Amino acid sequence: MEQTVEQKLKALWAWQSIQTQIDKIRQVRGELPIEVADLEDEIAGLDTRIEKIRNELDELEDSIVKRKNMIKDSQTAIKKYEAQLNEVKNNREYDAISKEIEIQGLEIQVCEKRIREAEFEIKNKTESYEATLKNVDFSKAELNGKKEELENITSETQKEEDQLMKGVEEAEKNIEDRLLKVTNKLRRSFRNGLAVVSIERDSCSGCHNKIPPQLQSEIRQRKKIIICEHCGRILVDEEIANEEA
Ligand SMILES: [Zn+2]
């Protein structure tokens, strides 16, 4: 396959144009999978938090039941001691039993205080539990929206992308191997994936540096492949660029 430089430049431009279209499709899709993954992480974190608060609430409720039982036990003990008081034989016995009653009374007060504290904590934790539930609902709704968006974009663009990929393969048939290898390497070296660019307003449309008039006229002659002296991209003239567009 012996090509003129002009044919080579046109083939390169055609190839680059399709690659650019593919890049654009991938760019549109690009952020969404990351956003979906981030949301899934966030929801997993919130679910863990909800479970933790739920467990804490259960523990607090259990502790209240326990304290209430302790109060009942103390009340039973007090009744027993009060009955014994009626049958005391001496002052020492009376004092000892009175002391027990006093201790059980204190026990009850402590339990009541702990119950109030637990109830206060339950109130606070329930608020944060409900807020977290709301957050997770919100995030789940957002996630569903993003997933749907991603699916739509993927199904919409997949066909187009497949078509374009075929186009790239076709375009590559018109470029000799060595030139393709160099151009591909060049393309990968730029974040925007542009290896073949056109003259735009006397400048390289890849790096926006001015192209000297002499070089511009050489590019337009299409006698050899010329690269931008600033960024190293392959340059084509406006006419080639517009033919493809
Ligand atoms: Zn340049």
Fold equal for 5-26+176-244 and 31-157: yes
**CB 222, CB 214: distance < 8 Å:** no
- Rounded to the nearest angstrom, the gap between the alpha carbon of residue 52 and the centroid of all alpha carbons in its chain is 23
CA distance 3 to 11: 10
Q: Hey, what amino acid is at 194?
A: L
Calpha distance 136→118 (Å, rounded): 26
Domain 31-157, CATH 1.10.287.1490 — does that match?
Answer: yes
Q: If you measure from the C-alpha of residue 129 to the centroid of ligand 1, how many angstroms do you get, rounded to a whole number?
A: 57
**Using an 8 Å Cβ cutoff, are 23 and 172 in contact?**
no
Cα(190) to centroid(ligand 1), Å:
11
Cα(228) to centroid(ligand 1), Å: 5
pLDDT in tens, the chain (245 residues): 689 999 999 999 999 999 999 999 888 887 888 889 999 999 999 999 999 999 999 999 999 999 999 999 999 999 999 999 999 899 999 999 999 999 999 999 999 999 999 999 999 999 999 999 999 999 999 999 999 988 888 888 888 999 999 999 999 999 999 999 999 999 999 999 999 999 999 999 999 999 999 999 999 999 999 999 999 999 999 999 998 54
Q: Where are the domains of the chain?
A: 5-26+176-244, 31-157
Kindly write down the DSSP assignment for every residue of 119-160, as one continuous string.
Answer: HHHHHHHHHHHHHHHHHHHHHHHHHHHHHHHHHHHHHHHHHH
Task: Answer yes or no: CATH 1.10.645.10 is held by domain 5-26+176-244.
Answer: no
Q: What's the CA-to-centroid distance between 136 and ligand 1, angstroms? A: 49
